Chains A and B, each alone.
Chain A
Amino acid sequence: MFEKSLWVFHLNSGSCNGCDIEILNIFAPKQDVERFGIKLVGSPRHADAIAFTGPVTRECLPKVIEAFKAVPEPKIVLAIGSCACGGGIWYDTYAVIGGVKELYKILKEEYNIEPPTTIFIPGCPPKPEAIIYGAALARGVVEQKQKREIYVEELDEKTERDIVEILFGESTGTRHFLPQITVKNSEESKNEP
């Protein structure tokens, strides 16, 4: 997508600072991402990508929308952390919009802005290497590992019958040793005067 250097604007929308510290970590000598040309910039007008953290609190929603509008097209959004990906632990509280997906809905309805390419990086907070992996995915250096998994249990009629037999067959092998209480049949008790 982006073949040349990716300039990143760090946009905090009410995050707890965990993800922000991990973003600062990747610019430190141990995981030095400036070797890929990734650089933090101070203004959204200079940026190619947004490092988005936080679940978008109501108070900062207008500022977030202004910053989104200021970044020139084409742009990439790196949604870093569980809060940005899906709302995190605050996904249904009253003071929070709930992640970039909900923000895109508001942008589409109110300002008619198409949602940009987004890379979801889950984690609470994500490891610095996980953020580097997300940036490398944006550059097309690595392949995506995570895939949607669906498992459907399949039962034939025969196995169903087997399970029913097992359920009744195990009735003798319980650890309870209380005597069984017999109850009179309801029809018999009806016939009694």
Chain B
Amino acid sequence: MGRLSLISKSISIGKVTEKYPFAPIEVPEDFRGKPKIDTEKCIGCTSCMNACPPRALEVYDDLERGVRVVHLFLGRCIFCARCQDVCPTGAIKLTKEFELATLSDEDLHQIVELQMVRCEECGKPFDTFRHLLYSVKELPPWQREMLFLCPECRAKKVSELLTFAKGGGGYV
């Protein structure tokens, strides 16, 4: 009688197999899928690179062309969503996309290239326009004149000012 009861149970439950590749499926609400960079919001601040455990997100400067490259390689991503937590502008978000299989690993890259500002003194690119626009609100007004100087030139200028500053003041 045990087998017969099993048959009746399987009939009452019915089919459980999904029709997946021929019919779409729903994913859970908090599913962590493919991370996607919003190219309009990204400022190239490198905070996502510092948070990424497997270095799937790399940010590097191409000094010859004067661009900062934000490079996302999905083949190494572990979908931990730390980049989403840490992004100051909300540019990187994890979508619900999971169909990422490819025939070549070249298709697993997302590259964002942002224009950089050149230093007024030495002409070396040092920061992106978008990052300067974002961080200018945090700067005190007396540092605005050195906004377009690279860190090295800025240090030189500050030391010059400190050497020639006389009487009162104290700090620059």
Contacts and interface: CB of A to CB of B under 8 A. Distances in A.
Interface residues of A, number: 67
A144 B105 CA distance: 12
B100 A168 contact: no
B102 A31 contact: no
Interface of A: 29-32, 35, 82, 85-89, 91, 99, 101, 117-124, 126-127, 129-130, 132-134, 136-137, 141-142, 144-155, 160, 163-164, 166-168, 170-176, 178, 180-181, 183-184, 186, 189-190, 192
B98 A146 contact: no
A94 B85 CA distance: 30
B78 interface: yes
B21 A149 contact: no
Interface of B: 16-18, 20-21, 25, 27, 34, 39, 53-55, 67, 73-79, 97-115, 129, 132-133, 136-137, 139-142, 144, 147-148, 160-161, 164-167, 169, 171-172
Contacts of B20: 31, 129, 132-133
14 contacts: A30-B16, A30-B17, A87-B54, A91-B54, A122-B75, A126-B100, A129-B18, A148-B107, A148-B111, A149-B110, A151-B112, A153-B114, A174-B140, A186-B164
Contact of A168 (B18, B79, B144): B144
Contacts of B55: 91
B160 A186 contact: yes
A87 B114 CA distance: 28
Given A31-B17, A183-B172, A91 B76 contact: yes
A167 B132 contact: yes
B73 A184 contact: no
B101 A133 contact: yes
Contact of A86 (B18, B73, B171): B73
A142 B21 contact: yes
A117 B167 CA distance: 75
Given A32-B17, A192-B166, 19 more contacts: A29-B16, A30-B16, A85-B108, A86-B108, A119-B103, A120-B101, A120-B104, A121-B100, A122-B100, A145-B99, A146-B107, A148-B108, A149-B109, A151-B39, A166-B133, A171-B141, A172-B141, A184-B165, A184-B166
Given A127-B98, A170-B136, A144 B111 contact: no
A10 B37 CA distance: 34
A154 B114 CA distance: 8
Nearest to A189: B164
B113, B142, B172: residue with the most chain A Cβ atoms closer than 10 Å: B142
B75 A82 contact: yes
Given A29-B16, A148-B109, A167-B136, A119 B165 contact: no
B21, B110, B171, B172: residue with the most chain A Cβ atoms closer than 10 Å: B21
Nearest to B161: A183
Contacts of A175: 137
Given A87-B76, A89-B54, A133 B21 contact: yes
